[in-house]
Amino acid sequence: MYEIHYFNKLDSTNDKVKEFQKHGSVVIAGIQTDGRGRFKRRWSSGKGGLWLSILLKPENIGKIGYLTLSAAIACQKAVKKIAKVESKVKWPNDLVVGNKKLCGILTESSSGENKFAIVGIGMNTNNKIPKNLEGKAASLRQITGEDADNEKIAKSLLREFEALYKRFNNKEYGFILKKWKKLCDTIGRDVKVITLDRTIRGRVTGVDSRLRLIIKAKGNKTEKVVEGDIYY
């Protein structure tokens, strides 16, 4: 399914991969000078990390939230298999070890005539974690004390992702959500959720089929959150 292109240095792999147009194109960069997260946040992407994007042309473009989940599952499995590190998925787009972010996923899409989706994966493997992220982020090398094999991890996660992408194409959303939930450590927790316009505190009771986070807030009020950041 894949055609892999490697570059030493790019602004952002999510931008570069668009140039390839072809379904299954993968771009990997040694360094990103302008890596980004959601809401145009900066994504620290120094030398040694794994910065990778996949271009996809799915028919069910309206469901791309499930691609984010699929990527998170694929990363969790690859990290476990290759680096022997146990991590958890965190709603909506992270992989964490304890309270620290190991990996972030940015899924973007274009509607219009030429429909495509881009799944961007940023994994801290051997890169240095900058001072401002100490306590919030972790790399595989910090965790294991050994160099991680980026190539093996990339191959493994792409293989896992391909299997899940088949499920996605078959509209097996329930299957993907169930797998993701098994690896998730957000459900059941007391959290603070910050969305673009409000802050909610409460206990997470689930994630629904539209991938909204369900929270039992004060006064037993049920809140459903589409987008936001969670603090445990």
Residues that bind ligand BT5 (CB under 6 A): 12-14, 32, 35-39, 41, 43-45, 51-53, 93-94, 101, 104-106, 120-122, 124, 133, 137
Q: Contact 101/88 with Cβ under 8 angstroms?
A: no
Cβ at position 155, least distance to ligand BT5 in Å: 17
**For residues 232 and 221, what is the distance between their CA atoms, to the nearest angstrom?**
19
CA 136 to chain centre: 16
Supply the minimum distance, in Å, between the C-beta of residue 92 and ligand BT5.
8
Coil/strand/helix, residue 19: helix
Closer by beta carbon to ligand BT5, 15 or else 172: 15
Least Cα distance to 154 among 80, 78, 85 occurs for 78
Q: Which is nearer to ligand BT5, 106 or 176 (CB)?
A: 106
Identify the residue whose tokens are 């028919």.
59
Catalogue the long-range contacts made by 201-204 (C-beta closer than 8 Å, 24 or more residues apart): 204/91, 204/230
Q: What is the DSSP letter of 160?
A: H
Residue closer to ligand BT5, measured from CB, 136 or 224: 136
- Residue 53 vs 215, nearer CB to ligand BT5: 53
As measured in angstroms, the least distance from the Cβ of 59 to ligand BT5 is 24
Considering the complex, what minimum distance in angstroms separates the CB of residue 51 from ligand BT5? 4
